[in-house]
A and B are shown apart, each in its own frame.
Chain A
């Protein structure tokens, strides 16, 4: 047999091109691998973490935030409290649609600044109509406008939550105090939950939030307002990093009309119980059987 044949030459060229194409196609994987912490990838589910593992994870998130955003933050993991079951009510007779609640949420929960993201959407509705589909969120005129009423919508923390059922990886679940939470480190970003929610309460992080260091809220919760990574779903948690310490949610404190009432449903003396027992209360899309913990009521 003499020298290399045409067949061998073609094989070599083909193999070289194939290897090159494979390497090129695999480039995003290499880039992705560089940005993923191997400890993060191999960790256990939140509910199976030991105290040490959890402490390490919280510490790692604090370090990452310091590196990425240049600000020192404290990430806590506060478990649900026994004897507490949260409920929220909103007085539609009082809401004027000023969106101060959405603004407070925007700052409290470290939302992306450029998109004005917030867990609260205020719908401008036609008086006499309950059709959420005809509500407008992009109204741009002085409020309250004649003939309109305003209905802020945020996560209803449903007891029969469709978003929890559809999650294929158990990255979202209901806590004992009624809050539906997301583990941003476990979420794969499939957005099934976003599609399942009848209240449009979940948001997807198309990009990692951009916030300047001086605007970052440093009091953060692992399951609530820590800065979310790109490609995960987020939602209102009734500010659990505040409310599990006994504080009121940020949106309630910001409301200039006092339309919001928050409290422990298990405490008969709480304002929320007064509202549920004495006011004309309704829940949004009751016919879906989601059993929300967020109630709307009227004065008259």
Chain B
């Protein structure tokens, strides 16, 4: 039936014409990763806050080496209570560890791996991994530790948090904090009297 073909062709042509001026709704799938995943370097690993504030309101920090490079290497104390100069008042709540479990005495502040090898402070995550295997495994797969940037590494990079960004190595558990942004929408305020 040739006439049927003609009718179908006309209809298809009309359909195509209808859609011709519509925007294309297709975008190509994500390409290969061209940007990298970096791990943030926390300030805490290179110095400490002195407690002073500069004229612009920024916290004044002292680099570790500014003191430790000039000092005689003394044996490490066994608890934070023995710290009598700069680091006094340090709160410690990290299992059964002592100072020497992680720190190495010496002119360059550094860390000590379980086998005694020296580890740079910037590589502190090597130390964390020794005990916190499941967290390290999840971290490697992007399922532990916060991040910012892009999920699609073909469009932009990603910055991962360092262990020390979120956890104080001397007291790693999250301390209780006050929640922000209390809800005040209509459903909440209307329901409030009935709850009590």
Contact of B180 among A103, A117, A206, A255 (CB under 8 A): A103
A98 touches B166 (CB 8 A): no
Report which residue of A48, A78, A142, A258 has the largest number of chain B beta carbons within 10 angstroms of its beta carbon: A258
Give chain B nearest CB distance to A274 CB in angstroms: 4
Instruction: Among A83, A246, A264, A299, find the residue whose CB has the most chain B CB atoms closer than 10 A.
Output: A246
CB of A248 within 8 A of CB of B22, answer no
Binary CB contact string for chain B from 95 to 131 against chain A (1 if under 8 A, 0 otherwise): 0000000000000000000000000000000000000
List of A residues within 8 angstroms of B174 by Cβ: 96, 144, 257
Tell yes or no: B169 within 8 A of A by CB. no
Selecting from A133-141, A166-174, A211-219, A282-290, the interface stretch reads A133-141
Interface residues of B in 139-177 (CB under 8 A from A): 141-152, 154-156, 158, 161, 166, 174, 176-177
> In the complex, which of the residues A138, A246, A278 contacts B150, with contact meaning CB atoms closer than 8 Å?
A246
Q: Is B151 in contact with A263, judged by CB distance below 8 angstroms?
A: yes
Q: Is A292 close to B, CB under 8 A?
A: no
- A138-174 interface bits toward B, Cβ cutoff 8 Å, 1 = contact, 0 = none: 1110111100000000000000000000000000000
For chain A, the bracket of interface size reads: 35 or more
The one of A139, A245, A279 in contact with B143, judged by C-beta atoms closer than 8 angstroms, is A279
Please state if A82 and B23 are interface contacts (CB–CB under 8 Å). no
Within 8 A of B (CB), among A83-119: 83-84, 89, 91, 94, 96-100, 102-103, 106, 114-118
Chain B hits for A275, CB < 8 A: 143
Nearest CB on A from B32, distance (A): 11
User: Are the C-beta atoms of B185 and A267 separated by less than 8 Å?
Assistant: no
Cross-chain contact of A116 among B146, B151, B185 (Cβ < 8 A): B185
Smallest CB–CB gap between B29 and chain A, Å? 3
A54 in the interface (beta carbon within 8 A): yes
Given A258-B145, A279-B143, A82 contacting B179 (CB threshold 8 A): no
Task: Find the B residue at minimum CB distance from A204.
Answer: B186
- Whether A138 contacts B192 in the complex (CB less than 8 A), given A103-B181, A257-B166, comes out as yes
Check B30–A81 contact: CB distance below 8 A.
yes
Residues of chain B lying within 8 A (CB to CB) of residue A91: 143-144
User: How many whole Å from A216's CB to the nearest CB in chain B?
Assistant: 18
Complex Cα distance, B183 from A200, in Å, reads 14
Asked whether, in the complex, the Cβ of B151 is within 8 Å of the Cβ of A203, the reply is no
A56 at the interface (CB under 8 A from B): no
Closest to A89 in B: B143
Mostly, the B contact residues are: loop
Q: Which residues on the A side are within 8 Å of B182 (C-beta)? A: 99, 116, 138, 140
Inter-chain CA distance A68–B80, complex, in Å, is 59
B194 located at the interface, meaning its Cβ lies under 8 Å from any Cβ of chain A in the complex: no
Q: Are A82 and B27 in contact (CB under 8 A)?
A: yes
Docked-complex contact A51 and B149, CB < 8 angstroms: no
8 Å CB interface, B11-43 against A = 21-30
B180 touches A98 (CB 8 A): yes
Interface positions, chain A 64-85, Cβ under 8 Å from B, are 77-84
Contact A258 B166 (CB under 8 A): yes
Whether B186 pairs with A115 at a CB distance below 8 angstroms is: yes
Q: A118-B183, A142-B176 are in contact. Are A261 and B142 (CB under 8 A)?
A: yes
Bound complex: CA of A258 vs CA of B145, how far in Å? Answer: 4
Contact of B166 among A52, A143, A256 (CB under 8 A): A256
Note all chain B residues with C-beta closer than 8 A to A278: 141, 143
**23 pairs, A vs B, C-beta closer than 8 Å:** A50-B21, A50-B22, A80-B27, A81-B30, A91-B144, A102-B181, A115-B184, A116-B185, A138-B195, A142-B176, A176-B25, A203-B185, A243-B151, A246-B151, A247-B149, A248-B148, A253-B148, A257-B166, A258-B147, A258-B161, A261-B142, A264-B151, A270-B142
B residues lining the A interface (CB < 8 Å): 21-30, 134, 138, 141-152, 154-156, 158, 161, 166, 174, 176-188, 192, 195
